Structure formats: C-alpha cells, structure tokens
Amino acid sequence: MTMNRIMAKLRKKNKGQYRLLGLCVFLSVILVSSFAFMYFSNTVQSFLPEGGDTRKLSLLMMGVTLIGCTIFTIYGTGLFFRHKSREVGVMLALGERKKLLARCLVRELLPVIAVYALAGIATGLPFSFLIWKGFQTFVVNTVDMTYSLGFGGVAVSIIFALFLVLCIFAAGVKFMKKIDVMEILNQQRKTEMVREIKPWTGKVGIVFCVVGLFLAVAVPSVSARMFSVSMPSAWNATYGLCVVGLYLFMLNAVGHTKKNRDPEKYYKNIISVNLMRFTARQTTRNMCVATLLIFVMLISSFWGVMYYNSALAGGDKFPDDCSMHFPASEQQVKEADIQKLAEEHNVEITSYEEAEVAQLVITYKEKDLSDEGKYYDTERKKLASFVSASDFSRIASLNRGKVNVKSGEYKTVVNSDYKRSIWVGPDCLKKITNPVTGDAVTADYAGTERFGNMTSMSEPFVFILSDEEYEKMTWDLSDAQIEKMIFFSVKDVMSTYDFSEALQKEYINRATELSDHMAYYDAYEEQQAKDQGKEYGYTGSGNVSADNIHLMDDWKYAPFFRVMVKTNAMQMVSIFVLMSIYISIISLAAVGIMNYVRSVTIAEDNRVLFGDLKKLGADRYYKASVIYGQLRKVFFYPALAGCGMSAAFCLMLTYFNDMHVEAFEVKMLAMEAGMILVLIAFLYMVYGISLKKMIKITP
C-alpha cells in the first residue's frame, strides 16, 4: 500500500478534523471577502469622505476583521496539527522519513484548503449582496444605496485567502521541524500543571480590569477638563492592565481550588474541580481569547447602535424643518420660489420666517492644545453672526414673547441639548468690532437662548444683541457684511424628500462666487493672513455643484433640510453600522466555534479518564456532573468577563465623553443590554450542542 493511500484512509477516518479546519478557513474567507466586497464597492467609497473619521473607523474595523479571522484560523490549525501529531508520530516510529511525510501532508492539505477558500470567496459575493439588500429593505432604501462590486474587494479576498494558506503551511513547517517521536506520541497526554493559585488572584484580576478601563477611558477626559492636560497616545497602553487582569481572573477560575468549610463536598467533586488544572495554561489562553472576542462583539454592536441612533435623531433638536442662510447680495430663492416648488410636490408649508444677521468681528477666548499636550487659554479674532433680539424672538417663535437683552449685554444661541465643551463656552465673547469703522464695544454675558437651526450658521456661535445695540453696530454695514436667513416648516416632513431635493438643487444652482466657500472660511481671517504675508488654509472654491456628494459637509452655506439630513446621515452611517454588524457576526461565530471545539477537545483528551471512572463504578449522573463542571467554566467565565468588561466600557465611555448621560444614551445602553441577552442565548444554544457532543464522546 502506498503512502498516499495510507494518508487517504487516515483522512477518511478523521474527516471531522479536516472539516473543522476547512470550516475555519471557509468562515474566515467568507466574512472577510463579503466585508471587502461591500467596503470597496463604488457606493460605499463614494459615501466615505477621504480622510474622514468614518473612513478611518471603517479601515480600523476591517483591520480588526482581518486579525480576528486570522487568529481564528490559526486556532483551528493548531487543533488540527495537535490531532494530526499521533498519526505522524506513528509513521515516524515505523521508520518513515520526515520529507516524505511533509510532502504527503502538503498534497492532502492543499486541495482541502483551496476548495474551502475558493468556496468562501465565491459565497462571499452573494452573502454580501443578501446582507446589503436586507439592510436596504429594513433600514434605509434610496436610489443612491445600490449594491455594486468593487475590484478592490476581489483583490483583498484573494490576498487574504492566500495569506491564510501561507499561515497554515507555516504552522505545518513548524510542526514538522519540531517533530520528536516520543513527544508526539504523548502530546495528547501531556499536562500543564501550574503552581498553586492563590485565592487573591481572581480579585486582583478584577481590580486590574476595572482600573485599566478607568485609566484608559475616564482619565483622558477628566485630565482635559479638570487639569487642561491631554494624555499622550502612549497612555492607551493602560488597556494592557485589562489584559493582565483578565488572564489572572481566568487563571484563578481554572486553576484555583480550595476546601472552604465543606471538605466533603470538595473531595466529592475533586475530579470535576481539578480536571482543567492539567491543561490550565492552554485552557486559560483559550478562555481569554473567547472573552476578548465577546468584548469586541459587544463593543462593535454598541458602536453600530450609537451611529444608528445619531443618524436617526439627526436634526430632531432643530425646531424648524428647513433653514438656509446666504450673502445678502446673492439672488437666492425667495418665498415665492419655495411656495411654487411646494405646490409642484404637494407639500404644505406650515410656517415661514425671514431675517438678517450681521457679520461683526469678535475677539473671544478659547482653549487650544500645545505640542506638549497642554491645554491653554488663547484669544482669537474672526467674523461671527449677530441678530437683533426682536428678529430672534420672531423667527424662534418663543411662546414667552420677546427675548430680553439689555444694552451692553449679549446672549448666545445654542442647541436645545447643548453641553459646554472644554474648547469654547457661550460666555467667550470679549469684544465686538465693526469691520467697516473699526469701532469696538464690550458686552456682558447674559445667558443662552436655544434655537438649533441657527447654531450651524456661525462659528463659534450666533450672538443676540439688543435692538438698540444691533442698530448701533450695523447701521453702516454693506451687503458684504449681511446675510439673509430663511426658516420654514412643512406638514409630514418625512414625506417631503423629493421637494427638499428639488429645493436644494435650485438653491445650489443659484449660488455664486459670493457663497462659494469651504465650511470654515472666514473673510476677516483671510484678509489678516494676506496682510501678514501668510497662506490661508480655507481659501479657494468649495466646489459648489449638485454633483458634489460631499458638498453638504464642506460648504459654508449648506442648507438644512430635516428629511435630507436624516436620510443622508442614515446612508452614511449605514455603512459603518453594516461593518459593526459584520464584526459582531465574526466575533460571535468565532466564540461559538472555539467554545464548541474546546469542549470536544476536553472530552476527547479525557476519554481514558472517563473510562477509568466508569470501571471504578461511577454512574452516568456522576459523569454528567463532571462534564457540567467543565462546560460551566468554558462558557460561564468568558461570558461573565466579556459582558462585564463591555458593560463597564460602555458606561464609562458614555458618561466621561461629556460628563453627562442623555436620554438617548440610556436608550443605547438598554440596547447594549439587549445584545448581551442575545449573546447569552447564543452561548446557551452552543452549550447545549457541546454538552450532547461531550456525552456522546465519553464512554
């Protein structure tokens, strides 16, 4: 009989191990390929701005996906070679050469891995299409959200599949180089006894986890707000305390035993209690990886929920459904134009107001960050918008009547959910200067007024002056220092997308060079830079065109239409939400398979032990109790640690982000609790499957 036929018979006998390795490769390739197909599609790439935070986070998530799937496949490869060692050891004991065994191993592995990898790539395309269509059907469905295939995704899928093949064969080369007949023959009987684990190990592990999370999440925010110090990027190394604490906690759960006050119970369960100690280091590493995967799964879902809720609530704090502002000299849309478009689209306008704001030079205080990581107070001069108290009262439709602003005072316009930031506060104003005459006045801070539609029209804020002060400061301004504002609301706003889109196109088409500026453009700052012979970073065209899909993010005079903000924001974050879902799926699948495989490995490694127990008179109930004890540790402790760490991380992140917890943040935390329940239900299902398999394996 030839060696190839012998290996074929062995492969047929142990097809479950080949199937497990192939499943790891297939799942990894299908998840990465489907992820890549969507990320590199033309639709996704067109929605993600170059250099934007969403693109950076998406690339980060792709990196996490690649690393997670690689670790998952390497784990499966290690199990495969661990079970393969007995066969190789027998062959070597019979006098077979290493080189011949290595060639035979390559010939039998390459077709298996290639088939599963190609199947993963081929399945990834329809899988990503189905996920996309399902998301499009139930979450957001617009003409722009069409599925398209990007060749970058195909390239990434092929490269990743080849990379996995290289990883598997590298593990095979390492396996063959370290061959020792006696060691291989006894590998499955080897123990990893650890020294006695002290009872305080688990408690110290929990403390390390909590302290690590607090240092990494809370301290940077507290340091910036209370001490005006920015923590360096190296501070993220404090997350390492969590890893150390996690290992100590898991090591205690696996290796620590004590008699307590009931030694009879201890000796009755001595086999169940001490069984894992014979593979303590291996089991601890496995449980730590499972915990980290659970943590990644829950945090990814939390980020997805956070982005989804932010898009869903886009513009909800703005009282008016639509608002626009533009230079007074520009011949922009008027009330008659808006009414005409509304009639064409059967839209009912329920309220309409117009007003003017003046552009005055302000001197204000803000915080900046030095190269040394220190926050410091500084003064800055720029243009800002001012509105009279009577005009603001009219456009804001305040039920309590006119806003009361005395001469020599000012109020600041903020959003309805405004929270003071560390950078600049509503009381920042120190001096107001007329840009034409140079006359300057000071004013005292008199509080805030909430009207979200105006907050995006000026940086850092829009300010309110008394009618007398406003008239005094603006009577000699030209149209170059005046902007017009339009505010209106419609009936059943979420059904007015076509009307808003048509109005936005009309608004863009009427824009001239007067309003063709990037978002942070400031005419005063530009002039100051020219006078000092310096370059001004925001000089130039804002590319005002209906074909510019990023115009609303980069244009100084971008209009606000609630229905379009919600829909477009949902389109943008839907990409990130989809990726969060993918990360969660990958992590959840990896946890389930790792726990199942670990459970089966425990049963197979201790088959002889269970047989000896049966010979000594142990009944099936005692055997079941031993198995329950092992599974409880494999499933319970990683779930407890992963869920606990993710819950603590989300709570700290939510609170220390701005030192407040809003109603929508409570809703997000509740949804995260729901995800924990889903995880527990999934693990319980895998627990049941693993239990049946272990009982079947053990005699």
Asked whether residue 188 carries a pLDDT value surpassing 60, the answer given is no
CB 298 within 8 A of CB 675: yes
Going by the DSSP 8-state scheme, the letter that residue 423 receives in this structure is S
Q: Are residues 181 and 204 in the same domain?
A: no
Q: Are residues 339 and 259 in the same domain?
A: no
Asked whether residue 307 carries a pLDDT value surpassing 80, the answer given is no
Query: Tokens at residue 479, please?
Result: 């149209």
Task: Establish how many alpha carbons lie within 13 A of residue 301's alpha carbon, considering only the half-sphere containing its beta carbon.
Answer: 25
Asked whether residue 2 carries a pLDDT value surpassing 70, the answer given is no
Asked whether residue 149 carries a pLDDT value surpassing 90, the answer given is no
Q: Are residues 11 and 28 in the same domain?
A: yes
Q: Are residues 257 and 345 in the same domain?
A: no
In this predicted structure, what is the pLDDT of residue 13?
61
Question: What distance in Å separates the CA atoms of residue 670 and residue 655, rounded to the nearest whole number?
Answer: 15
CA 233 to chain centre: 19
Residue with tokens 């799926």: 585
CA–CA distances in Å: residue 67 to residues 61, 73, 291, 307: 10, 10, 16, 23
pLDDT in tens, 403-424: 889 999 999 999 887 888 888 9
CB 583 within 8 A of CB 65: yes
**Can you tell me the mean pLDDT for 312-328?**
84
Confidence of residue 377 (pLDDT cuts 50, 70, 90): confident
- What pairs with residue 364 in β-bridges? 380, 429
Q: Are residues 554 and 646 in the same domain?
A: no
- Which candidate, 554, 664, 55, places its Cα nearest to that of 310? 664
pLDDT in tens, 615-628: 777 777 777 777 88
Host domain of residue 18: 1-187
Asked whether residue 614 carries a pLDDT value surpassing 80, the answer given is no
In this predicted structure, what is the pLDDT of residue 662?
74
Which of 187, 216, 237 is at the close of a domain? Answer: 187
pLDDT in tens, 454-499: 998 999 999 999 999 999 999 889 888 999 999 999 999 989 999 9
Question: What distance in Å separates the CA atoms of residue 71 and residue 68, rounded to the nearest whole number?
Answer: 5
- As a whole-number percent, the residues of the chain with pLDDT over 70 amount to 81
Asked whether residue 278 carries a pLDDT value surpassing 70, the answer given is no
Asked whether residue 179 carries a pLDDT value surpassing 80, the answer given is no
What is the average pLDDT value for the chain, to the nearest integer?
81
**Can you tell me the mean pLDDT for 535-563?**
81
Which of 546, 566, 586 is at the close of a domain? Answer: 566
Q: Are residues 539 and 664 in the same domain?
A: no
**Can you tell me the mean pLDDT for 154-181?**
83
In this predicted structure, what is the pLDDT of residue 288?
82
Residue with tokens 């007949």: 181
Q: Using the CB atoms, write b or e for 226-246: b if 16+ within 10 Å.
A: eeebbbeeeeeebeebbeebb
Q: Are residues 410 and 348 in the same domain?
A: yes
Question: What distance in Å separates the CA atoms of residue 55 and residue 39, rounded to the nearest whole number?
Answer: 10
Asked whether residue 579 carries a pLDDT value surpassing 80, the answer given is no
Question: What distance in Å separates the CA atoms of residue 119 and residue 113, rounded to the nearest whole number?
Answer: 10
Q: Are residues 433 and 562 in the same domain?
A: yes
**Can you tell me the mean pLDDT for 688-699?**
82
Asked whether residue 432 carries a pLDDT value surpassing 90, the answer given is yes
Going by the DSSP 8-state scheme, the letter that residue 555 receives in this structure is B
Q: Are residues 589 and 559 in the same domain?
A: no
Asked whether residue 506 carries a pLDDT value surpassing 90, the answer given is yes
Q: Using the CB atoms, write b or e for 163-196: b if 16+ within 10 Å.
A: ebbeebbebbeebbeeeeeeebbeeeeeeeebee
pLDDT in tens, 35-92: 788 778 777 776 666 655 566 666 766 776 787 778 778 877 877 777 777 676 666 6
Which of 534, 566, 598 is at the close of a domain? Answer: 566
Q: Are residues 48 and 156 in the same domain?
A: yes
pTM > 0.75: no
CB 271 within 8 A of CB 613: yes
- Total domain count for the chain? 3
Q: Are residues 522 and 390 in the same domain?
A: yes
Q: Are residues 156 and 32 in the same domain?
A: yes
